Protein backbone atom coordinates (compact mmCIF):
# COMPACT_ATOMS: atom_id res chain seq x y z
CA UNK A 1 0.00 0.00 0.00
CA UNK A 2 1.19 3.51 -0.74
CA UNK A 3 2.41 5.55 2.19
CA UNK A 4 2.95 9.06 0.92
CA UNK A 5 0.19 11.44 -0.05
CA UNK A 6 1.36 11.62 -3.66
CA UNK A 7 1.56 7.82 -3.94
CA UNK A 8 -2.02 7.52 -2.64
CA UNK A 9 -3.20 10.05 -5.20
CA UNK A 10 -1.33 8.23 -7.99
CA UNK A 11 -3.03 5.01 -6.95
CA UNK A 12 -6.47 6.66 -7.10
CA UNK A 13 -5.72 8.12 -10.53
CA UNK A 14 -4.42 4.86 -11.99
CA UNK A 15 -7.44 2.97 -10.64
CA UNK A 16 -9.81 5.51 -12.22
CA UNK A 17 -7.97 5.34 -15.56
CA UNK A 18 -7.94 1.53 -15.46
CA UNK A 19 -11.75 1.46 -15.13
CA UNK A 20 -12.22 3.97 -17.97
CA UNK A 21 -9.84 2.06 -20.26
CA UNK A 22 -11.55 -1.25 -19.47
CA UNK A 23 -14.95 0.24 -20.36
CA UNK A 24 -13.63 1.63 -23.63
CA UNK A 25 -12.09 -1.73 -24.52
CA UNK A 26 -15.35 -3.56 -23.76
CA UNK A 27 -17.32 -1.03 -25.85
CA UNK A 28 -14.90 -1.52 -28.74
CA UNK A 29 -15.29 -5.30 -28.60
CA UNK A 30 -19.08 -4.96 -28.46
CA UNK A 31 -19.16 -2.74 -31.57
CA UNK A 32 -16.84 -5.09 -33.47
CA UNK A 33 -19.00 -8.06 -32.55
CA UNK A 34 -22.18 -6.30 -33.71
CA UNK A 35 -20.51 -5.45 -37.02
CA UNK A 36 -19.35 -9.03 -37.57
CA UNK A 37 -22.83 -10.33 -36.76
CA UNK A 38 -24.31 -7.99 -39.37
CA UNK A 39 -21.82 -9.29 -41.92
CA UNK A 40 -22.76 -12.90 -41.14
CA UNK A 41 -26.43 -12.01 -41.50
CA UNK A 42 -25.60 -10.55 -44.93
CA UNK A 43 -27.17 -7.20 -43.95
CA UNK A 44 -24.88 -4.94 -45.99
CA UNK A 45 -26.75 -1.66 -45.43
CA UNK A 46 -26.77 -1.92 -41.63
CA UNK A 47 -23.18 -3.16 -41.70
CA UNK A 48 -22.17 -0.09 -43.73
CA UNK A 49 -23.78 2.15 -41.08
CA UNK A 50 -22.15 0.17 -38.27
CA UNK A 51 -18.76 0.51 -39.95
CA UNK A 52 -18.84 4.25 -39.22
CA UNK A 53 -19.23 3.50 -35.51
CA UNK A 54 -16.47 0.91 -35.69
CA UNK A 55 -14.11 3.45 -37.26
CA UNK A 56 -14.96 6.00 -34.60
CA UNK A 57 -14.33 3.55 -31.74
CA UNK A 58 -11.08 2.27 -33.28
CA UNK A 59 -9.75 5.79 -33.84
CA UNK A 60 -10.60 6.83 -30.29
CA UNK A 61 -9.02 3.68 -28.84
CA UNK A 62 -5.84 4.33 -30.82
CA UNK A 63 -5.82 8.00 -29.81
CA UNK A 64 -5.94 7.24 -26.10
CA UNK A 65 -3.50 4.32 -26.56
CA UNK A 66 -5.84 1.49 -25.63
CA UNK A 67 -4.72 -0.21 -28.83
CA UNK A 68 -1.77 0.57 -31.08
CA UNK A 69 -2.23 3.00 -33.97
CA UNK A 70 -1.18 0.45 -36.58
CA UNK A 71 -3.48 -2.19 -35.10
CA UNK A 72 -6.41 0.18 -35.50
CA UNK A 73 -5.44 0.85 -39.11
CA UNK A 74 -5.04 -2.87 -39.81
CA UNK A 75 -8.43 -3.68 -38.29
CA UNK A 76 -10.15 -0.91 -40.25
CA UNK A 77 -8.63 -2.20 -43.47
CA UNK A 78 -9.61 -5.82 -42.84
CA UNK A 79 -13.15 -4.99 -41.71
CA UNK A 80 -13.73 -2.78 -44.75
CA UNK A 81 -12.47 -5.55 -47.02
CA UNK A 82 -15.01 -7.98 -45.52
CA UNK A 83 -17.84 -5.62 -46.42
CA UNK A 84 -16.95 -5.59 -50.11
Residues 59-74: pLDDT tens digits?
Answer: 999 999 999 999 999 9
> What's the whole-model pTM score?
0.86
> What CATH class does 5-83 carry?
mainly alpha
Instruction: Find the helix or strand (DSSP H, E) in which 71 lies.
Output: helix 69-83
Give the integer Cα–Cα distance in Å for 40 and 38. Answer: 5
Does residue 84 surpass a pLDDT of 90? no
**What residue spans of 2-68 are helical by DSSP H?**
5-40, 44-63
User: Span 21-41, mean pLDDT?
Assistant: 96
Nearest to 51 by CA among 68, 74, 31: 31
Q: What is the pLDDT of the chain when averaged over all its residues?
A: 96
Amino acid sequence: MPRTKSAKKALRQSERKRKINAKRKIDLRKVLKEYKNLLEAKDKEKAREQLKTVYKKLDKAAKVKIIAKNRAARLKSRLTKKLA
